[in-house]
């Protein structure tokens, strides 16, 4: 099974192979969990979202047409489940984020100086992302990390495309304010001076 591609596994799973679906879960679990964690912010919540994601994927596999990769399809389901989960949760209490887990970098970059710069900003960025309100964070994560289309984001979050764009705009602005506060203060200072 290890050498079989995800596309082949998907076909087999659609034909009813339990083994193939289990293998898809094994292979995509880390990615799905990472996205869920980025969206909901805590390990326990991410696990619940992952569980729900695979249940939905199992139920909806026959509707998967194969026009996108199965990983992209799973990202959409994860985004949808995380959104539902957060909406339910936020009805009861405010977002509490914990920084209890590190993520492993699988990207092999060849320029060490560039890499060091990115790694430096990335850890601050992770913290800044966690400080964003959930609504803004979700859109920034889906668009700027996972490169999901505006239309897909809007569909999964059950909002209009323009609302998704507005949230993205605000999210990026807020991230910059958090990461470069001195630059924002300077800007405000010069505005007051004028």
Partner 1 sequence: MLCEKVQALLPQSQGSPEGLPAKEAAHLGSCLQCQVHASQYASIASSLASMRHQVAPIDEAHLASVLEEYETLADVIPLNPRRRRLRKAISTGRAVTAVTAAAATVVAVKLLTKQRLAS
User: Looking at beta carbons only, is 91 or 108 nearer to partner 1?
Assistant: 108
User: Looking at beta carbons only, is 158 or 162 nearer to partner 1?
Assistant: 162
Structure tokens at 33: 């969990």
Give 59's DSSP letter: H
> In the bound complex, what is the minimum distance in angstroms from residue 91's beta carbon to partner 1?
26
Residue 107, Ramachandran bin (φ over 0: left; ψ between -120 and 50: alpha; else beta): beta
Residue 19 burial (10 A CB sphere; 0-12, 13-18, 19+): exposed
CB 81 within 8 A of CB 157: no
Q: Where does this chain bind partner 1 (CB under 8 A)?
A: 13-18, 21-22, 25-26, 29-31, 33-34, 37, 43, 46-47, 50-51, 54-55, 58-59, 61-62, 101-107, 109, 117-118, 121-122, 125-126, 140, 144-147, 168-169, 172-173, 175-176, 179-180, 183, 187
> In the bound complex, what is the minimum distance in angstroms from residue 77's beta carbon to partner 1?
14
Three-state SS at 149: coil
> In the bound complex, what is the minimum distance in angstroms from residue 173's beta carbon to partner 1?
5
> In the bound complex, what is the minimum distance in angstroms from residue 92's beta carbon to partner 1?
24
**Length of the chain measured in residues:** 194
């Amino acid at each position: 099974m290890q050498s079989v591609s995800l596309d082949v596994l998907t076909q087999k799973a659609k034909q009813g192979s339990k083994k193939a679906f289990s293998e898809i879960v094994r292979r995509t679990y880390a990615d799905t969990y990472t996205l869920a964690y980025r969206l909901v912010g805590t390990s326990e919540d991410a696990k619940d979202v992952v569980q729900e994601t695979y249940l939905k994927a199992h139920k909806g596999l026959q509707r998967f047409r194969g026009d996108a990769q199965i990983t992209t399809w799973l990202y959409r389901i994860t985004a949808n489940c995380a959104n539902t989960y957060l909406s339910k949760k936020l009805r009861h209490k405010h977002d509490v984020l914990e920084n209890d887990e590190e993520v492993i970098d699988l990207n092999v970059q060849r320029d060490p100086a560039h890499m060091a710069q990115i790694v430096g900003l990335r850890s601050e960025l992770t913290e800044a992302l966690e400080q964003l309100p959930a609504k803004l964070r979700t859109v920034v994560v889906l668009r700027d990390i996972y490169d999901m289309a505006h239309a897909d984001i809007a569909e999964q979050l059950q909002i209009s495309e323009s609302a998704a764009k507005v949230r993205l705009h605000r999210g990026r602005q807020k991230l910059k304010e958090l990461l470069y506060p001195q630059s924002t203060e300077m800007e405000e200072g010069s505005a007051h001076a004028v």
